[in-house]
Amino acid sequence: MSDSDSFIEEVSEEVRRDRLFGLMRRYGWIAILAVVILVGGAAYNEWRKAQNRAEAEALGDAILSALETEDQSARVDALDAVAPAGPGSEAVIAMMAAAEALKDDPEGAVRRLLAIADDSGGAAPVYRQIATLKAVMIPDGGMSPQARRDRLDGLALGEGVMRLLAEEQLAYLDIEADDPASAQARLRGIIGDAEATPGLRRRATQVIVALGGDVTPGAEAAQPEPDEEPADGAGTQGEGAAE
């Protein structure tokens, strides 16, 4: 390599180095900022996880402490005093308080549960549905059969297992109303539903059998009406056979 070529190469290398340094001075802060954001975001995420974990542990400790109270009414008051961490935990605490109040004050328990069920702006739908179902299942809660049916009809229009649980309770209301045929029809619908759990199917089967029904496929259609007349000629054939 000649001296002129070596000189040109050194100059080119110096120019490239100057350009690189210039780019770093101009845009290097972006890379540094990106690193800071990534590291800071990861640190904040870990801090939030630790905060959520600490809040959950504190809430759990407060609930356990309330449940350890000896007197039942005092347990209810202690649960009412627990500070919820959000709408979800508030609904859970309220349902626990309702369960504690059930023995001495069933109507008060129903009021607590219906307050959750009607809280459209706070509790998640699943908590509201559970609260509704629990409220209508309290026999001495002060709800009329029609009020319970109206609540359950709304649940039965939904989806999933909650719909089937509502249908089960509606069947029990049919039994209370002395309408076993409607109850059995509802229970057969539960048994044939693909979303029904084994336990739910088992309960429905047991109730149908207790009502004197048959759970074999097609049994409902095969059963004749009580006042059904024999087919034409059946009596004559019977008489002929008797002769």
Residues 6+ apart with CB under 8 A from 89: 59
116-129, pLDDT tens digit by residue? Answer: 998 877 778 899 99
Is residue 133 pLDDT above 80, yes or no?
yes
Confirm whether 92 is domain-assigned.
Answer: yes
Are 44 and 141 within one domain?
no
Confirm whether 36 is domain-assigned.
Answer: yes
Host domain of residue 159: 72-221
**pTM, entire model:** 0.65
Confirm whether 236 is domain-assigned.
Answer: no
Residues 6+ apart with CB under 8 A from 189: 167
Residues 6+ apart with CB under 8 A from 196: 161, 164, 190, 204
With CA atoms as reference, report the closest residue to 108 among 86, 70, 68, 79.
79
Residues in the chain: 243
From residue 189, alpha-carbon distances to 89, 160, 198, 225 in Å are 35, 14, 14, 21
Are 16 and 123 within one domain?
no
DSSP state string for 103-116: TT-HHHHHHHHHHH
Query: 223 versus 30: which is more confidently predicted?
Result: 30
Are 121 and 213 within one domain?
yes
Confirm whether 192 is domain-assigned.
Answer: yes
Confirm whether 211 is domain-assigned.
Answer: yes
The total number of structural domains in the chain stands at 2
User: Band of the pLDDT at 238, cuts 50, 70, 90?
Assistant: very low
Is residue 34 pLDDT above 60, yes or no?
yes
Are 48 and 94 within one domain?
no
